[in-house]
């Protein structure tokens, strides 16, 4: 399994993670402060979300965004392969094994984009 996420696949992985967590878009709205309609647009690839919103959604569904030096990728992927991690079967995600999942969603200030609840 390849754990690298591309800009073209990020929305798909976020949707899968939300569904694996048994969470509705409405619950994700409550946990992140992002409007449900915006969550839907993110999950359907209709918008290019800000990085901060990707992090907020990921944390709300039990994932952590992690930047790994390219030279360390073989070791990271090797460790993941040895652990038998498979997010599709409900096991811990690659990132959860490396750094642990955040339980609480991050909170942030709003901006003029209207993406957050008032």
Contacts of 60 (CB under 8 A, 6+ apart): 23, 28, 31, 32, 105
Domain assignments of the chain as residue spans, ordered by start: 10-99
Instruction: List, for residues 23-58, the tens digit of each pLDDT value.
Output: 999 999 999 999 999 999 999 999 999 999 999 999
Top CATH class, 10-99: mainly alpha
Its pTM surpasses 0.85? no
Residue 118 has pLDDT above 80, yes or no: no
Residue 89 has pLDDT above 90, yes or no: no
- Reference 54, options 45, 65, 46; nearest CA is 65
């Amino acid at each position: 399994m390849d754990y690298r996420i591309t800009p073209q696949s990020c929305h798909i992985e976020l949707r899968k993670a939300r569904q694996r967590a048994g969470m509705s878009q409405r619950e994700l709205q409550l946990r992140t402060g992002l409007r449900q309609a915006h969550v839907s647009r993110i999950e359907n690839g209709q918008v290019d979300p800000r990085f901060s919103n990707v992090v907020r959604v990921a944390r709300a569904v039990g994932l952590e965004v992690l930047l790994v030096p390219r030279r360390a990728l073989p070791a990271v992927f090797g460790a993941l392969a040895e652990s038998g991690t498979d997010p599709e079967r409900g096991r811990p995600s690659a990132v959860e094994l490396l750094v642990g999942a955040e339980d609480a969603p991050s909170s942030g200030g709003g901006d003029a984009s209207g993406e957050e609840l008032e």
